């Protein structure tokens, strides 16, 4: 018997309407458009309005992915997020209900900026084990809700958004098939990127959290070095397992954390920058949403054709990292709106 394989069948994304440019940030912090662009590659980002939650973005992206796939009978929902609507319950069931999917199993995966890859692997596992014939995988974050808006080290980087894919059961040899996966973590480096307050560690003291502990902190230099190292390692491993060389890769789609990280990973792998997709200029770092958002943008721009060999890779808090190989499907419908980077 041929093993069941997860095949990409639908794709969608969502961004909140509010645009914040680098020039907008200069009104409240000591920074400049040139400083931000030079260090991150970001020109603008999208920010949720008051009252908008992660589930709202996830539902919009999920609906577009379902439309793209032709409204399949989805058997499960996997949501990757670091900013759930509430600490309890999980946000996945809210997304499933918002999409009218009834009582399908739905749950959250927490691996921060690597979350979409972890969720994609989980969805593929549900299909491979015959738990579901079709799975909606969403990466969504309202990440600015955990970022200090006056911190010049983090506020220019992070943004909000959602991206989603529909996976269906299929064959390993057909276009759209997920090929190989490499996932890893190192909890000894958990303090590289974290929010100190809000969890059981802080709440068990039964005292109010300090303001600064409620926001994300990041040791940028160490994150940069580790991201390049781990994304490169995972990419090489998964390419070897797939039987691909770097020359075979038609498009490298990395987590959109920093343009310098993306270019460094491409250089380490020997993949030309023309084959390394970048859309961070107009999205910012949207955490778990960044890879599916990038895939949707690349698809809308005509950068992906049926049968193209695609390499996905990410690094995030935890620390977590990974890489996945897949081929691009035939006839995938584009449901998003064209978005071009700011000049």
E strand or H helix that includes residue 98: helix 92-98
Q: Is 263 a residue of the active site?
A: no
Q: Choose, from 113, 258, 282, 299, the residue flagged as catalytic.
A: 113
3 state DSSP class of 103: coil
Q: Are residues 255 and 113 in contact, defined by beta-carbon separation less than 8 angstroms?
A: yes
3 state DSSP class of 308: coil
Q: Choose, from 22, 226, 255, 279, the residue flagged as catalytic.
A: 255
Q: Is 255 a residue of the active site?
A: yes
Tell me whether the omega of the peptide bond preceding residue 89 falls within 30 degrees of 0, making it cis. Answer: yes
Measured between alpha carbons, how far is 204 from 212 in angstroms, rounded to an integer?
18
Q: Is 88 a residue of the active site?
A: no
Q: Choose, from 226, 258, 279, 285, the residue flagged as catalytic.
A: 285
C-alpha pair distances (Å), 197 with each of 176, 178, 179, 206, 207: 41, 37, 38, 12, 11
70's CB contacts (< 8 A; 6+ apart) are 10, 333
User: Which residue bears the tokens 């480096």?
Assistant: 189
Burial class (CB in 10 A: 0-12, 13-18, 19+), 339: middle
Per-residue burial over 212-247, b if 16 or more Cβ lie within 10 Å, else e, is: eeebbbbeeeebbebbbebbbbbbbebbeebebebe
| Active-site residue list | 113, 255, 285
């Amino acid at each position: 018997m041929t093993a069941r394989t997860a095949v990409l069948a639908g794709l969608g994304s969502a961004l909140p309407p509010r645009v914040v440019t680098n020039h907008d940030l200069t009104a409240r912090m000591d920074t400049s458009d040139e400083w931000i662009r030079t260090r991150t590659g970001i020109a603008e980002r999208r920010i949720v309005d008051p009252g908008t939650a992660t589930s709202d973005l996830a539902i919009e992206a999920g609906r577009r992915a379902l439309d793209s796939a032709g409204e399949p009978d989805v058997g499960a929902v996997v949501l990757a997020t670091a900013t759930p609507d509430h600490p309890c319950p999980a946000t996945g069931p809210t997304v499933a209900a918002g999409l009218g999917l009834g009582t399908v199993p739905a749950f959250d995966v927490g691996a921060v900026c690597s979350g979409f890859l972890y969720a994609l692997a989980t969805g593929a596992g549900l299909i491979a084990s015959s738990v579901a014939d079709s799975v909606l995988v969403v990466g969504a974050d309202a990440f600015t809700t955990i970022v200090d808006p006056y911190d010049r080290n983090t506020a220019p980087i992070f943004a909000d958004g959602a991206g989603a894919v529909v996976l269906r059961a299929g064959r390993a040899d057909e276009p759209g098939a997920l090929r190989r996966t490499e996932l890893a973590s190192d909890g000894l480096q958990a303090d590289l990127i974290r929010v100190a307050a809000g969890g059981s560690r802080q709440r068990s003291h039964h005292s109010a959290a300090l303001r600064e502990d409620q926001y994300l902190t990041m040791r940028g230099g160490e994150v940069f070095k580790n991201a390049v190292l781990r994304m490169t390692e995972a990419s090489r491993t998964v390419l070897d397992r797939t039987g691909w060389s770097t020359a075979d890769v038609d498009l490298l789609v990395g987590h959109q954390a920093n343009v310098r990280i993306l270019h460094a990973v491409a250089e380490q792998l020997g993949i030309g920058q023309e084959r390394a997709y970048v859309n961070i200029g107009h999205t910012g770092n949207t955490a778990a949403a960044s890879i599916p958002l990038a895939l949707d943008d690349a698809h809308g721009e005509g950068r992906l054709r049926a049968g193209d060999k695609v390499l996905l890779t990410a690094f995030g808090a935890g620390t977590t990292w990974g890489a996945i190989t897949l081929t691009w499907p035939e006839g995938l419908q584009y449901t998003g709106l064209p978005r071009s980077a700011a000049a």
